[in-house]
Amino acid sequence: MTARLADIAAQAGVSEATVSRVLNGKPGVAATTREAVLTALDILGYERPARLRRRSAGLVGLITPELENPIFPAFAQVIGQALTRQGYTPVLATQTPGGSTEDELTGMLVDRGVSGIIFVSGLHADTTADMERYERLRGHGVPFVLINGFSDQVRAPFVSPDDGAAMRLAVTHLVSLGHRRIGLALGPARFVPVQRKTAGFLRALRDELGTGEAEAAELVEHSLYTLEGGQAAATALIGRGCTAAICASDMMALGAIRAARQRGLSVPGEFSVIGFDDSPLIAFTDPPLTTIRQPVPAMGQAAVRALLEEIGGTPAPHSEFVFLPELVVRGSTAAASGIASPIRGSRPVQDPTQG
C-alpha cells in the first residue's frame, strides 16, 4: 500500500498524505488537487474507490423532508424542470416517517455517482444538528446547494425567502384591517426559518402596534408544520384573545381555520388567517387563503444555477441568496370584528399597504 501511495503521489505531484485524504474522502483538499489524484489513479491503472468513480454527468439528487406538504412537490417540479432543461436528470429522494434519513439518502445518491445534490429544508435548517455531515459530503467532491435554513458552519450556497419581510407584510396587512391582537403559529423553535419569522414578527408588532417584547412573546405558539399542528396552535392563540393568526405554512393555516370554526368563529368575519407558501390549489380553499407567497420558481432556478456553476468548476460563494416574498390577499382575512367594513368607508381589504 505504501508503494502504491508513493506511485500515485509521484504521478499526481502531491504528498502521500494528500493521496490518503482523497482516497478516504476526507475534507480539506482542493478540487483541482483531488482531480489530479483521481486522474493519477486512472493513468496508473488503479480502480477508483466506488464513491470516487467518475460521476454521471446526468444525475442530480434532490432531497426533501416529505411530500405531504404541497410546497415540497412545488419545489421538486421547478427544480426538476430547470435541471431537465440543462440536460440533467433529477433524482428525487424523500424522507418518510420510519424510512431513510437524510444521511442515508445522501449516501445512496453519492454511491450512485450524482453530480450534485440540492437539499430542501434539510438538517442544515436545524440549529441542533451536526453540520459536519455537509463537510464530509464536500470531502467526497460532491457539490451541493441548500434551500431554506442558513448556517455559517456550512461552506455552500444557500437560497432562502426573506422571513422577516414576510412577517412585516402579514402584520401590516392585519393591522390595516383593525386587528390589534395578532398571533403567530409556527414550527419548533430550533429551526432557522422559525427563528427568523419569530424575530420578524416581534419587530413588526413593536413597530406597528408598540407591543412590548414580553406581551408579544405570548402571541407566539410553536407546534408542528401540519394541519393538526396549526389547529392546536390556533386554538391556543384564540384562547389568548387573538382575532387573527399568521401561520408559517398553508397546511397550518388550514388547521387554524378548522380551529376557529370549532370554537364557533367565522373566518374571516370573526377570525382572520394568513398562511405561508401559496401552495398549489390553496386559492380554492373555503375561504380562499390569504397567504405569503414563497417565490418558489425564482428560488428553485437560483439553486440550480448555483449548483451547475459548481459542477462546471466555478465554486459558488458561501453566501445566502435571499428572495422577497409577496402578500397574496384572498378571502381568509377581513376587518376585525367591530371595525367598519370597506362598504361603510374603511380601508379596502385588498390594499395591505394602507396604514
Q: Are 210 and 309 part of one and the same domain?
A: no
Q: How far apart are the first and last CA of the chain?
A: 74
Cell digits of residue 321: 441568496
**Phi, psi for residue 94 in degrees, rounded to 5:** -120, 135
pLDDT surpassing 60 at residue 347 = no
Task: Quote the pTM value.
Answer: 0.79
Cell digits of residue 217: 412573546
**Which domain, by its residues, includes 193?**
163-295+327-344
Per residue in 180-196, pLDDT tens? 999 999 999 999 999 99
Nearest C-alpha neighbor of 61 from the set 144, 183, 167: 144
3-state secondary structure of 296: helix
Residue 296: the pLDDT is: 95
d(CA 147, CA 190): 17
Which of 266-275, 305-314, 319-328, 341-350 is least confident? Answer: 341-350
Q: What is the mean pLDDT of residues 68-86?
A: 91
Cis peptide leading into 49, omega within 30 of 0? no
Q: Are 339 and 250 part of one and the same domain?
A: yes
Domain count, the chain: 3
Per residue in 240-260, pLDDT tens? 999 999 999 999 999 999 999
Q: What is the CATH number of the domain that holds 19?
A: 1.10.260.40
d(CA 326, CA 158): 20
Residue 353: the pLDDT is: 35
Q: What is the mean pLDDT of residues 93-105?
A: 86
Residue 316: the pLDDT is: 72
Q: Are 210 and 335 part of one and the same domain?
A: yes
What does each C-alpha distance from 127 to 75, 150, 189, 343 come to in angstroms?
Answer: 23, 9, 9, 48
**Phi, psi for residue 220 in degrees, rounded to 5:** -105, 125
Q: Are 36 and 184 part of one and the same domain?
A: no
Residue 36: the pLDDT is: 87
Q: Are 151 and 280 part of one and the same domain?
A: no
**78 assigned to some structural domain:** yes
The beta-strand segments (E) located in 75-219 are 89-94, 116-120, 144-147, 158-161, 182-186
Per residue in 12-60, pLDDT tens? 899 989 988 888 878 778 878 888 888 888 788 787 776 666 555 589 9
The beta-strand segments (E) located in the chain are 59-64, 89-94, 116-120, 144-147, 158-161, 182-186, 220-222, 244-247, 272-277, 290-293, 320-323, 326-328
**351 assigned to some structural domain:** no
Q: Are 82 and 27 part of one and the same domain?
A: no
Per residue in 284-324, pLDDT tens? 999 999 999 999 999 999 999 999 998 887 777 788 999 99
User: How many residues comprise the chain?
Assistant: 355
In the sheet that holds 244-247, the strands lie side by side as 220-222, 182-186, 244-247, 272-277, 290-293, 326-328
**350 assigned to some structural domain:** no
